[in-house]
Structure 1
Amino acid sequence: METTYESALEELQQITQHLQEGKIGIDELAVQLQRAAELIRFCREKLRSVEKDIEGLFEELT
């Protein structure tokens, strides 16, 4: 399944919630924090890409 912005954000929210609720044990903590960093990177790149696309559209209109 391809990762979408929405699915990455949802997974990131789940990780955050599990951290806040203490549902992630110490052994799993590093793995989940690594995954969270990957998801944040993915979301940032996706937002930058969309921003460039939108800027390009506006440049074509002027």
Structure 2
Amino acid sequence: MDKITYNDAFEELKTLILDLEQGEITVDELAAKVKRAALLIELCKKKLTATEEEVNKVIESMEE
């Protein structure tokens, strides 16, 4: 799962949300789609946090 890029995860998440909003997902698929969405959200959060930490390190090294 970590090999997926942030952009790919975000695009898939947007598609899942659109499907949910438009009623494109059956009741049988709902639980699996919600679980997938939760995984994608977690992945995006981790990637954003890692990027923020990396940027902060660069900024700190520039200030030294």
For normalisation by structure 2, the TM-score amounts to 0.94
Structure 1: tracts of 5 or more residues without a match: none
Alignment deviations for residues 1-21 of structure 1 (CA, whole Å, 9 cap, x no partner):
x30000000000000000000
Is residue 5 from structure 1 mapped to residue 6 from structure 2 by the alignment? yes
Is residue 17 from structure 1 mapped to residue 24 from structure 2 by the alignment? no
The one-letter code matched in structure 2 to 1:8 is: A
The one-letter code matched in structure 1 to 2:30 is: L
| RMSD, aligned CA | 0.5
Question: Which residue is equivalent to 1:26?
Answer: 27
Question: Which residue is equivalent to 2:62?
Answer: 61
Structure 1 residue 45 displacement after superposition: 0.1
**Identity of counterpart residues, as a percentage?**
38
Structure 1 residue 36 displacement after superposition: 0.1
For normalisation by structure 1, the TM-score amounts to 0.97
Aligned residues: 61
Which runs of at least 4 in structure 1 moved beyond 2 Å after TM superposition?
A: none
